[in-house]
Amino acid sequence: MAAVVGVAGPGDPGTDEWSAALARGVAAAGTVGTVSSLQVVPAGDDGLPDADDTAVRRLLDEFGGSDPLLVELARTLHGYLTGNAAATIERVTQALVPETTVLVGHGFGAVVAFDVLRRARSTGLRGLVTLGCPLSLTVVRRALNIPEPLARPDGVRWVNVLDPDDVRTGGEGLADLGPGITDEYVDNGEPPHSVEAYLAQGSTGRGVLTALTG
């Protein structure tokens, strides 16, 4: 039963690596506190085995680039839309127990975390922390039929952490897309989309601890 549930993007490491990196983020936040328990759930792979290359290319055209990270994002988004969504949402939802107070998502895992929250009837969550979140990209929101403004459940504090050089965010935050969203800009170095670099940021540690302690 985890107080913090992480939703990992494709290629992300597991719970041990997340825990170690988040501990560094908590230390960097300069705030007294610890994360007592963390469970990481995979958002899914980088697309279905029979992913429609034409559809993926269409998404890439909308993204306006062919960076390998955008190719992976397009394949993951296509896979989610054409068959992975229900199973992925169920997997994350099953991890949310009454003791869970913070949901952390990285990359496409951040999209899934938001998708779970917007579908949930009720949760005990107090915090959503998104890392390198592609919801800043219009094509992602449109593909998932996510209306604006982005809505968060009452009582949930949303902190969005991004590196402006992270291509999967388009260098843009989420604060302008909905009320109550706080953008925190960081410098992850290389590679800018690294989940361990994101988790080790003081902004991430502070966002998690604030939600945990109420």
Distance (Å, whole) CA 141 – CA 77:
11
Tens digit of each residue's pLDDT (9 = 90 or more) over 136-166: 999 999 999 999 999 888 889 999 999 999 9
58 lies in some domain: no
CA distances from 120 to 114, 134, 179 (A): 10, 21, 19
Is the per-residue pLDDT at 50 higher than 60?
Answer: no
Number of structural domains, the chain?
1
Nearest residue to 134 (alpha-carbon basis) of 174, 94, 102, 97: 174
Predicted local distance difference test score (pLDDT) of residue 45: 58
70 lies in some domain: no
CATH number at residue 26: 3.40.50.1820
48 lies in some domain: no
75 lies in some domain: no
Tokens linked to 23: 């501990």
146 lies in some domain: yes
**Domain residues for 183?**
4-41+86-213
Distance (Å, whole) CA 193 – CA 132:
6
Strands 102-106 and 181-185: unpaired
117 lies in some domain: yes
52 lies in some domain: no
71 lies in some domain: no
CA distances from 108 to 8, 28, 57, 169, 206 (A): 8, 25, 18, 10, 22
Tens digit of each residue's pLDDT (9 = 90 or more) over 103-128: 999 999 999 999 999 888 667 899 99
pTM of the entire structure? 0.93
